[in-house]
Structure 1
């Protein structure tokens, strides 16, 4: 087998370096996905019409906010000097998904990656897998997401969706799970399965 035949049939181009987002991106994310909802998604059969577009709990964070006794976590939207250089972390609810998001904010979580490329990013709970996306014409061109519910057909209301997204963020910044007590936050290639299972168990119990 030649080296050429072992290559993937398609590989997305490497995006340009992402510009750090200075202001809380929640309103821009809501506008971006509301446009998608009204123009191309609202008639599809798998959407949950009980849900609406909402960005939840966005705040800056990077690995320097973590310590062995637990994370130093700013409140959503916090802009104090201690946290103003971190990348943006939060959740987005739409009628077709509920996902965790990381957006570039000048911190040490973000790395520029091709669309579809997966990476492990370690939070206090442990490593979670995020998927990169890049659309140069979008309101926010570059982001990375971790799917929670896609589609969110089992979510009965916007209140329940908001509670699930908030529980996911709370779990994400909880202490490191016992399965990997030596893990440190940041980008990693470690296998995330035990911690990911514990992560979703915590959400299910909320």
Structure 2
């Protein structure tokens, strides 16, 4: 018999219990565990038939998709573990991999950080998770790159010939300067903020 789907309010304690148990049983003495961190699933929303959020564990931080209705549960259950699927968000396309745990069923995850040693404490990890969720849903973070962080092929007219390298306009200088007005770029989100 199929278990009933958890509500959004039931999801956080279910995920936290499941992954705390994994830490206690499967991750004991594994050197990638940051002992300063604990499991946290506090940043989840309902999104297009899924529960979407960031799961923090002492060994990874992942974007997670879990079924919020029967249709998405059936779709996830039909996928083999380790198969990949791309999902589109306001900030772009992200590749997720299918996983399964007895307590929560099938889910999909997109790795943000692993291992987690760059986080000195739980608060830093929680703040990063909140920034990831905000950045994921911010259309201003959209970049024309695919789920692997590679530029989409350019279509349309041929590019203009290169300008004379001896002359440098103000526009060239602006284009070469780093973008500093966005909290999180699409590329940073995909690469776990590693510049």
Aligned residues: 155
Query: Does 2:31 align with 1:104?
Result: no
Task: State the 1:176 CA deviation.
Answer: 5.5
Distance 1:123 1:178 in 2: 9
Q: SS of the counterpart of 2:193?
A: helix
Distance 1:170 1:37 in 2: 28
Match for residue 131 of structure 1? 97
Q: What's the Cα RMSD here? A: 2.9
- Cα 1:41–1:179 change in 2 (3 A) is closer
Deviations 1:88-143 (A, max 9, x none): 001111111111100001288773221001111001101011110123xx210111
Deviations 1:62-107 (A, max 9, x none): 2xxxxxxxxxxxxxxxxxxxxxxx3100111111111110000128
Q: SS of the counterpart of 1:160?
A: helix
Task: State the 1:22 CA deviation.
Answer: 3.2
Query: Does 2:21 align with 1:35?
Result: yes
Counterparts of 1:190-205 in structure 2 under 5 Å? 191-192=146-147, 193-194=149-150, 198-201=185-188, 204=193
Distance 2:105 2:53 in 1: 17
- Cα 1:139–1:109 change in 2 (3 A) is closer
After TM superposition, which residue ranges in structure 1, 4 or more long, deviate above 3 angstroms?
17-24, 107-111, 176-180, 202-205
Distance 1:19 1:191 in 2: 35
Q: Greater relative contact order (Cα 8 A, min sep 6): structure 1 or 2? A: 1
Distance 1:33 1:117 in 2: 21
Match for residue 57 of structure 1? 43
Residue 171 of structure 1: which of 135, 140, 162 is its match? Answer: 135
The structure number with the bigger radius of gyration is: 2
**Could you state the TM-score of these two structures normalised by the residue count of structure 1?**
0.66
**Could you state the TM-score of these two structures normalised by the residue count of structure 2?**
0.69
Distance 2:53 2:70 in 1: 15
> Could you list the runs of 5+ residues in structure 1 that have no partner in the other structure?
1-16, 63-85, 181-189
Distance 2:187 2:121 in 1: 20
Query: Does 2:106 align with 1:142?
Result: yes
